[in-house]
Amino acid sequence: MKLFSIYHKIILLFFIFIFLSSYVFADDLSSSEDTFDISEILGDIESIETSSDITQLPTINSRAYVVIDRNSNTILIAKNENQKKKMASTTKIMTALVVIEHCDLSDTVEISKKAANTGGSRLGLKTGDKITVYDLLYGLMMRSGNDAAVALAEYVAGSITDFANLMNEKAKTLGLSNTHFVTPHGLDEDEHYTTAYELAILSNYAMNNEIFAKIVGTKNYTITINGYPKALTNTNELLGVLDGVYGIKTGFTNGANRCLVTCCKRGNMDIICVVLGADTKKYRTTDSIKLIEYAFQNFTYVDVKKILLANFEIWKKENLSNINIMKGVSNYLDITFENPPYDSIPVRSDLVDFFHVYIEYESNLNAPIIKGTTIGTITLKLEEKTIYSSNIFVNTDIAHKNIFDYLYSFCQNFSNIFNRILQI
């Protein structure tokens, strides 16, 4: 009976271990059940490109996705882009960014027992190993090493908790109100989440860092651990395969499912595509390709700055004389507005003629008027969606009339009347 009880305990412990392994130690690397031939997917690109119905979005498996323009952060296409989702190893985008901004990349790190024992996708570090911060970053982003993530977090902040605080501080400065970090690696935690849109905004910011962009854009690299070389291959299946792709990060846990963030540039169009919650690696790859191809096939850049300025000049010619400046030394009003921080945005090709500019203004103003005073708004809309809005403000000071101004006006009016009498 005692032997039977021990036997059952062993079996129970075995199944618990298997369950925990499949849940906690999820990673970015392909399992034998989740492999595919990417050439088969690439062979379907032609059919995606030649789709005749521009309003028909591709069928997507991922629970949430977004494609944004890198220049303006404009959303091209999206679904559930503002829903909070687990992000898996795409977390490491923020991890790498915080590390790059907080320490000397040439520093040497000695790996702790905690870092060496971290599960999931691993760089393969052991307790006492010595490696530079720079090489750890390659192991973090190319191999998606959770052990590298913990080692970097400990080196920068002393602990995972303190490093997570740095991650959340950075998220706050970037305006990511629906993003929160608990770990540097992204293994499932209830309070560790982001949205597809905010992950795209974070990625766009990170890609402006030259060191970060170089690392995530590298397909193969050799690092050094304890003086010995170790070759790495990027886990990003689209890098070096799909035209224009130059980064950035894969992700997978059982809670997050398959995730992928992709930067792609062709010609003057530069986009970021985020897919979260795909059922399989093949789906996340297919979804990303479909969204990227749809964006490049069906969007074109429109000079919105030119549209705003042209309409503003026409409006001024037709309406500026209707603005009355009461008790002002001058009735001439020099007005302007703040131009958008970008000249052009990508717009779906069938909508390029549906831009409208709306201007609202105060027709009666009281002097004195100080330079910078707001007198109205100018708004650019695409159909019913607001693309850009700015205050219209006065560009010069207009003083209130004093007694001498009134006297001068009286004398001038009297002189005009007297001259007319003489002419009669």
* 144 is an active site residue: yes
Amino acid residing at 114: K
Told to judge if 130 belongs to the known catalytic residues of this protein, a careful annotator would answer: no
Q: How far apart are CA 192 and CA 85, in angstroms?
A: 9
Exactly one of 92, 249, 282, 290 is catalytic; which is it? 92
Catalytic, 230? Answer no
Three-state SS annotation for the chain: CHHHHHHHHHHHHHHHHHHHHHHHCCCCCCCHHHCCCHHHHHCCHHHHHCCCCCCCCCCCCCCEEEEEECCCCCEEEEECCCCCECCHHHHHHHHHHHHHHHCCCCCEEECCHHHHCCCCCCCCCCCCCEEEHHHHHHHHHCCCCHHHHHHHHHHHHCCHHHHHHHHHHHHHHCCCCCCECCCCCCCCCCCCEECHHHHHHHHHHHHCCHHHHHHHCCCEEEEEECCEEEEEECCCCCCCCCCCEEEEEEEEECCCEEEEEEEEEECCEEEEEEEEEECCHHHHHHHHHHHHHHHHHHEEEEEHHHHHHHHHHHHHHHHHHHCEEECECCCCCCEEECCCCCCEEEEEHHHCCCEEEEEEECCEEECCECCCCEEEEEEEEECCEEEEEEEEEECCCECECCHHHHHHHHHHHHHHHHHHHHHC
Q: For residue 412, give both structure tokens.
A: 């001038």
> Catalytic residue among 144, 203, 288, 344, which?
144
Catalytic residue among 62, 72, 89, 203: 89
Residue type, 150: V
Residues labelled catalytic: 89, 92, 144
